[in-house]
């Protein structure tokens, strides 16, 4: 025996929920799908370009800063070298060496220096032991001054013919300054000329450099202590937040980490172990232009997405509208199909019922004829009231028989609304077998065996439609057994559903026929006898009830239909 699980023959009936709900659900579904389809890749692309753009901006910004830092470092180097050269020229001047201790001379020299740069604050001459031998400047010393313990003096004392630039320190005056010193060997011993330079001047100088407006500039020494600060970075403090690495000699810094828009660049000076660090003032210059462009891009992207959203919504509404229309059309078609099938099976039934009606009609005709005969003098013409009564009773019986048959036909044909009520399936089976086809089955020598489950549980279903299903199956079974046979009807109750089995001992079906059994318009009956709709409509009815129908058959071995019917209708 083959055991196919046929595809549902007809589409399950459309959603019974209100159309607007169904419409909204469909719309959301379509929208979600479209957005996923179009928005997601676009969004990913936009995000990708956004980050790429930011990265590029950051890179170009850092490159720009690095160039700036290098330029400023070079300029600062140049400035410091000039000051050293100024001081060196002074030290090399034999006339100066000779009159080094003369205050007038020293004052004139300082004035000369200050003409080259405002940065020179004072001028001092130090001997080989570190004692300040002559001084010209704003400080009035109370006693003799020795630099012997100063770090810069120790460094300069160890060598000859050197120049030195100190870090910025508060020094004796309590004013931040740094010292440059030049040592020359003369006949009279070491001559060390030192001068304090004001960082303010340096500061002003740095601020006047090209591109300085876009950035904060700071100078840190090798230990990371601030030397000079311009702009709005935190006030000078002992140690800076940033200490650039010694190698490479120039580069970019990312003190906050993680690709923020805060960019730093540095370059080490050559003259002294200072690093010049530039920090772009956020929202200034080039960055602002680039960022501005980016915000425009953002606006355009949002506008584009909005436009696409509108298009998608309009399109989705169109699609859903079309789908709803198609569904409604399909629903109508399926309704028409079901009705056609019903009419067709009514037609088949009508043939059977005509026979049922004609028999009592024939009785009536004969009885009436007989009564007439009895009253006919030519034929004898004698009738007694009891006789008359008997014949009239027979006629009445026959008339009521006719009425019962037509009533059954009407129950079947009458267009009734679908009423989902609890029904005992066994009762419906009995009604179908006894009421509608009993006499026909009897005539065809079909024995009927019923194996009903005792379980009294009912099924929520529409009686008329279920009757149609059973009628189709029983009729098919009957048609498959023209020579008579056994029709077995079984019911079994299970947890969530019940099983109805309709089995015949008829001619059976080939595997090919079994495969196509539930297809609409497929029939094994001769042309004009069957419509081929019975099983397909039965399958679709059962699908609507959340049930299923299977067929097992083999040629000559009969056919078994198995129905699974849940106790409750699906939502």
Partner 1 sequence: MRPTIKLLIVDDESRFLHAIAARLRLRGFEVITACSGAEALELADRHTFHVALVDLKMPGLDGGQVLQALKQRQPFVEAIILTGHGVLESAVEMSKVGAFACLPKPYELDLLLLTLKQAYVVRLKRRFAAHPEIVERVDAIACDDNVIDVLARLRELEDGSAGS
* CB of 375 or CB of 511, closer to partner 1: 375
Q: In the β-sheet with 132-136, what is the strand arrangement from edge to edge? A: 132-136, 123-126, 189-197, 178-186, 163-165
d(CA 327, CA 336): 14
Query: Could you tell me the smallest distance in angstroms from the CB atom of residue 444 to partner 1?
Result: 9
CB 361, min distance to partner 1, A: 4
Tell which positions 443-472 bind partner 1, by CB under 8 A: 443, 445
Would you call 107 helix, strand, or coil by DSSP?
Answer: helix
Cβ pair 347, 412 in contact under 8 A: no
Nearer to partner 1, 333 or 354 (CB): 354
Residue 252 backbone dihedrals phi, psi, to 5 degrees: -115, 160
Nearer to partner 1, 428 or 480 (CB): 480
Write down the least CB distance from residue 475 to partner 1, Å: 16
Supply the minimum distance, in Å, between the C-beta of residue 507 and partner 1.
Answer: 18
Q: How far apart are CA 86 and CA 112, in angstroms?
A: 9
Q: Is 388 in the site for partner 1 (CB under 8 A)?
A: no
Rounded Cα–Cα distance for residues 515 and 329 (Å): 28
Kindly tell me which of 29 and 355 has the beta carbon lying closer to partner 1: 355
The minimum distance between CB 433 and partner 1, in angstroms, equals 16
Query: 162 vs 371, which CB is nearer to partner 1?
Result: 371
Angstrom distances, CA of residue 103 to CA of 128, 202, 349, 569: 19, 27, 141, 117
Among 63, 111, 379, 511, binds partner 1 (CB under 8 A): 379
Subset of 393-452 contacting partner 1 (CB under 8 A): 394, 397-398, 442-443, 445
Residue partners of 545: CB distance under 8 A and separation at least 6 = 461, 462, 465, 466, 565, 566, 569, 570
Within positions 347 to 376, which residues make up the interface with partner 1, using CB under 8 A?
A: 351, 354-359, 361-367, 369-370, 373
Q: How far is the CB of 472 from partner 1 (least distance, A)?
A: 21
User: What is the CB neighbour count within 10 angstroms for residue 397?
Assistant: 14
Query: Which residue, 439 or 524, is less far from partner 1 as judged by CB?
Result: 439
CB of 442 to partner 1, least distance (A): 6
| Sites for partner 1 among residues 141-170 (CB under 8 A) | none
Toward partner 1, which CB reaches closer, 49 or 400? 400
- HEC string of 259-301 equals CCCCCEEEEECCCCCEEEEEEECCCCHHHHHHHHHHHHHHHHH
How many C-beta atoms lie closer than 10 Å to residue 68's C-beta?
A: 22
- Please say which residue, 333 or 388, places its beta carbon nearer to partner 1: 388
CB of 356 to partner 1, least distance (A): 7
Place of tokens 């020579």: 483
- How many residues bind partner 1, per CB under 8 A? 26
DSSP letter, residue 378:
G
Q: Which parts of this chain interact with partner 1 (CB under 8 A)?
A: 351, 354-359, 361-367, 369-370, 373, 379-380, 391, 394, 397-398, 442-443, 445
């Amino acid at each position: 025996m083959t055991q196919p699980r046929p595809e549902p023959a007809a589409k399950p009936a459309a959603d019974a929920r209100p159309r607007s709900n169904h419409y909204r659900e469909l719309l959301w579904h379509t929208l979600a799908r479209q957005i996923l389809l179009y928005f997601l890749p676009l969004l990913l692309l936009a995000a990708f370009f956004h980050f790429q753009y930011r990265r590029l901006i950051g890179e170009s910004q850092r490159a720009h800063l690095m160039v700036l830092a290098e330029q400023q470092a070079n300029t600062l180097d140049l400035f410091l070298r000039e000051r050293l050269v100024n001081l060196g020229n002074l030290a090399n001047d034999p006339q100066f060496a000779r009159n080094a201790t003369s205050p007038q001379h020293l004052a004139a020299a300082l004035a000369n220096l200050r003409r080259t740069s405002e940065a020179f604050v004072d001028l001092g001459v130090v001997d080989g032991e570190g004692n300040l031998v002559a001084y010209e400047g704003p400080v009035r010393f109370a006693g003799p001054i020795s630099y012997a313990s100063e770090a810069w003096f120790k460094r300069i004392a160890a060598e000859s013919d050197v120049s030195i630039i100190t870090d910025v320190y508060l020094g004796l005056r309590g004013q931040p300054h740094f010292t440059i010193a030049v040592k020359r060997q003369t006949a009279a011993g070491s001559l060390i000329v030192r001068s304090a330079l004001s960082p303010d001047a340096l500061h002003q100088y740095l601020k006047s450099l090209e591109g300085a407006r876009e950035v904060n500039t700071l100078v840190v020494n090798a230990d990371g202590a601030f030397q000079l600060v311009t702009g709005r970075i935190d006030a000078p403090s002992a140690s800076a937040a940033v200490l650039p690495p010694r190698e490479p000699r120039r580069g970019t810094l990312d003190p906050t980490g993680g690709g923020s828009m805060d960019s730093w660049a540095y370059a080490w000076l050559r003259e002294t172990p200072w690093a010049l660090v530039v920090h772009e003032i956020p929202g200034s210059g080039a960055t602002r232009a680039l960022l501005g462009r980016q915000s425009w891009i953002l606006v355009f992207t949002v506008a584009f997405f909005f436009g696409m959203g509108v298009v998608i919504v309009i399109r989705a509404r169109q699609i859903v509208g079309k789908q709803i229309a198609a569904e409604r059309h399909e629903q109508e078609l399926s309704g028409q199909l079901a009705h056609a099938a019903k009419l067709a099976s009514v037609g088949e039934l009508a043939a059977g019922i005509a026979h049922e009606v004609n028999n009592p009609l024939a009785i009536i005709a004969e009885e009436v004829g007989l009564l007439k005969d009895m009253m006919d003098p030519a034929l004898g013409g004698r009738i007694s009231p009891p006789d008359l009564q008997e014949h009239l009773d027979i006629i009445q019986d026959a008339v009521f028989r006719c009425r019962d048959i037509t009533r059954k036909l009407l129950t079947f044909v009458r267009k009734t609304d679908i009423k989902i009520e609890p029904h005992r399936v066994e009762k419906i089976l009995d009604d179908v077998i006894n009421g509608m086809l009993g006499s026909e089955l009897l005539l065809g020598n079909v024995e009927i065996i019923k194996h009903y489950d005792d379980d009294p549980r009912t099924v929520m279903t529409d009686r008329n439609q279920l009757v149609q299903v059973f009628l189709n199956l029983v009729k098919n079974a009957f048609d498959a057994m023209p020579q008579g046979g056994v029709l077995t009807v079984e019911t079994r109750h299970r947890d969530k559903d019940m099983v109805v089995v309709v089995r015949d001992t008829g001619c059976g079906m080939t595997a090919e026929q079994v495969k196509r059994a539930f297809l609409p318009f497929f029939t094994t009956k001769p042309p004009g006898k069957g419509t081929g709709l019975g099983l397909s409509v039965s399958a679709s009815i059962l699908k609507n009830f959340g049930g299923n129908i299977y067929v097992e058959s083999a040629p000559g071995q009969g056919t078994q239909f198995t129905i699974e019917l849940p106790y409750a209708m699906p939502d």
